[in-house]
A and B are shown apart, each in its own frame.
Chain A
Amino acid sequence: MIIPVRCYTCGYPIGRHWEEFKKRIEKGEDPKKVLDDLGIKRYCCRRILLSHVPLIYEVAYYKRKV
């Protein structure tokens, strides 16, 4: 849905890297290189960004009008 604020496993505030990660991946960069550049060492934190499906960008349009 939306990027978690912290890594589930270790508690590192992973959410703050999301915007940059997204921008660079969309440009076609290698995820491994981006993660290394961002200084994310542990695999628990890396999988959070790698495996995230940002559904909220689509879901946000489908809400009952108030």
Chain B
Amino acid sequence: MNEAYNVAQKIDVEIRKLTDIYIELIFKNVPLPILNALRRIIQLEVPVMAIDEVIFYENSTVLYDEIIAHRLGLIPLRSEEALDKYGPPEKCIKCMESYYAEASEEAVERPSSKDCENCFIYIRGSVENLDEEELKTFYSGDLLSDDPDVVPVYKEIPIVILGPHQRLSFDAKARLGRGIEHSKFSPVSVAGVRYVAEISTNSLDDTNLKDAEKCLEYCPVKILEISYEDKKILVKDPYECILCMQCVKRCPENSIKISYRKDQYILFFESVGQLSIRKILLTAIDIFINKIDYLLQQIKEMR
């Protein structure tokens, strides 16, 4: 068995970078497939609020109803509290399916109207440009939400620009959803797992010391230095290395060697803003544990 899968070793997690919307975590002794599963759950399964259905009452702007509806859907809505308040997305989809089934006269099990009560909210918008000449911009901050906890995260996204005497008014339904359904429901913009470099350097002699000086320029993240005392290339921060191999190509032969570690990986993601970094990670881990429990239960039943 691959030594990387030795679960007896102690699992360790370390925060490398952390801002309001970005995090980089170093996972030690966690197999890559597990980390990748976590990454995919963060991207595709953590629910967030987004506008899903729009009813237009009036639209005399230059953009079609469909374009505006699409733009509304993409606006990030604050979901921190909504996760506990609203029903799970799967139930909501059932409501919608039954709605469409009604039109096509197919029999579909319909959830009771009580179920649907706390599954969506209305976000309203109405605007008129009264000016004779000037244009007017309708921003995401002008949307009126029925729930003060579910409001646009960013107030300055232009939704449509109205010419003189143009009007727009609509009601929009927002609900929870998962990224697997549409990427507007994804809480992260980038999410990735990457390798950690293992860099080993050999001592240089006087002739190729000069060449080495020049070759260090080629490192795109500038983490290499030269130590003249030890006649060696020094590495400032191996975690920054992106394994591009430029240094191996350009430096004197055998002076530097790059490989990747099999016991450490870096998980990084950037939040769009609907959820905090902490909430995304904790929700994803909850979902992950539920999935594994479900798998174990299914295996037990098979026996």
Contact = CB atoms under 8 A, between A and B. Distances in A.
Contact of A10 (B161, B164, B165, B189): B189
A10 B135 contact: no
Interface string A23-63: 00000000000000000001000000000000011011111
Nearest to A56: B161
B189 A56 contact: no
B262 to A, nearest CB: 29
Interface residues of B, number: 32
A2 B158 contact: yes
A30 B265 CA distance: 38
A57 B62 contact: no
Interface string B141-174: 0000000000001111111111111100000000
- SS class, residues of chain A in contact with chain B: loop
Contacts of A16: 140, 154-157
Contacts, number: 70
Nearest to A20: B156
A57 B61 CA distance: 12
Contact of B135 (A6, A13, A19, A57): A57
Contacts of B60: 63, 66
Contacts of B224: none
Contact of A15 (B158, B190, B272): B158
B289 interface: no
A26 to B, nearest CB: 15
B163 A61 contact: yes
Interface stretch (B8-16, B27-35, B70-78, B194-202): B70-78
Nearest to B166: A63
Interface of B: 60-63, 71, 74-76, 135, 140, 153-166, 183, 186, 188-190, 270, 272-273
21 contacts: A2-B71, A3-B158, A5-B74, A5-B75, A10-B190, A11-B186, A11-B189, A12-B270, A13-B74, A13-B272, A15-B158, A16-B140, A16-B154, A18-B156, A18-B158, A19-B156, A56-B161, A61-B164, A63-B60, A63-B61, A65-B165
